[in-house]
């Protein structure tokens, strides 16, 4: 088993049409600044590499960078870590107060399953996550969404649109399609931020067998 870098993980989920936040890779500080300008401010920068699975815990993420000077300071700090075979991943900061999580797990008894649940700062406290055996149909995906105990929290809220059910069904079905590739061991999209109701992944982590996907 090996963990794909975030850029590789994003490419895997994007390849089937799962939406992710705008992103670019940079190998040096000049490339990074150009990428940040193209993506726009505010943005975020992360250290990217196959040996970096949990970037936040390791201090390899800088968020909500509003100016070029803030970005340059953050990018230089990350590059000082000198992690082998790493570069920088620059991504947009999405605006949305609610988050969900989705992914693929392989259960020893049931095999590949699609996971969906409530995300954000309350995710651990609420622990509202459901699973369905992959692949799944649109009917399965709709049932998966409606089975959450916290569905009321995903309705229209403080001027923000409700979770787009059709877009979420599409995302879950596509995760189920990826799960049919036995070289993919797991997928973790955490979080997906709701933007105009549509869940968009701002982080992706894919575990694969040693041979390439």
Angle ∠(6,11,15) on CA atoms, nearest 5: 150
The tens place of each residue's pLDDT in the chain, 213 residues long, gives: 789 999 999 999 999 999 999 999 999 999 999 999 999 999 999 999 987 766 555 789 999 999 999 999 999 999 998 888 899 999 999 988 899 999 999 999 999 999 999 887 666 777 899 999 999 999 999 999 999 998 888 899 778 899 999 999 999 999 999 999 999 999 999 999 999 999 999 999 999 987 644
**In the chain, how many domains are there?**
2
The domain spanning residue 32 has which CATH number? 3.30.1490.20
**Of 92, 112, 143, which residue constitutes the final position of a domain?**
92
Domain boundary (92, 114, 139) is at 92
Are 144 and 197 members of one domain? yes
**Cβ-contact 24, 57 below 8 angstroms:** no
Q: Based on the domain organization, do 80 and 103 belong to the same domain? A: no
Q: Residue 113 sits in a domain of what CATH number?
A: 3.30.470.20
Give yes or no: residues 124 and 189 share one domain: yes
**Same domain membership, residue 127 and residue 48:** no
Tell whether 12 is covered by a domain: no
* Residue 106 sits in the same domain as residue 129: yes
Clarify whether residues 52 and 106 are in a common domain.
no
Range of the domain at 183: 99-208
Answer with the one of 92, 127, 145 that is the final residue of a domain. 92
| Alpha carbon of residue 119 to chain centroid | 12
The answer as to whether 203 is a domain residue is yes
């Amino acid at each position: 088993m090996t963990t794909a870098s975030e850029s590789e993980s994003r490419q895997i989920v994007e390849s089937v049409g799962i939406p992710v936040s705008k992103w670019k890779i940079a190998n040096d500080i000049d490339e990074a600044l150009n990428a940040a300008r193209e993506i726009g401010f505010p943005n975020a920068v992360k250290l990217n590499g196959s040996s970096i699975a949990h970037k936040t815990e390791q201090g390899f993420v800088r968020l909500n960078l509003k100016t070029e000077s803030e970005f340059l300071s953050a990018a230089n700090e990350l590059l000082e870590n000198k992690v082998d075979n790493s570069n920088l991943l620059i991504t947009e900061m999405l605006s949305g107060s609610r988050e969900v999580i989705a992914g693929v797990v392989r259960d020893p008894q049931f095999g590949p399953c699609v996971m969906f649940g409530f995300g954000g700062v309350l995710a651990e406290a609420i622990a509202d996550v459901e699973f369905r055996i992959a692949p799944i149909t649109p009917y399965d995906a709709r049932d998966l969404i409606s089975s959450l105990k916290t569905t009321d929290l995903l309705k229209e809220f403080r001027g923000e649109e409700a979770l787009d059910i059709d877009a979420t069904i599409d995302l879950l079905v596509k995760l189920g399609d990826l799960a049919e590739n036995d070289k993919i061991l797991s997928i973790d999209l955490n979080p997906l931020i709701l933007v105009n109701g549509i869940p968009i992944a701002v982080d992706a982590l894919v575990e694969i067998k040693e041979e390439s996907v």
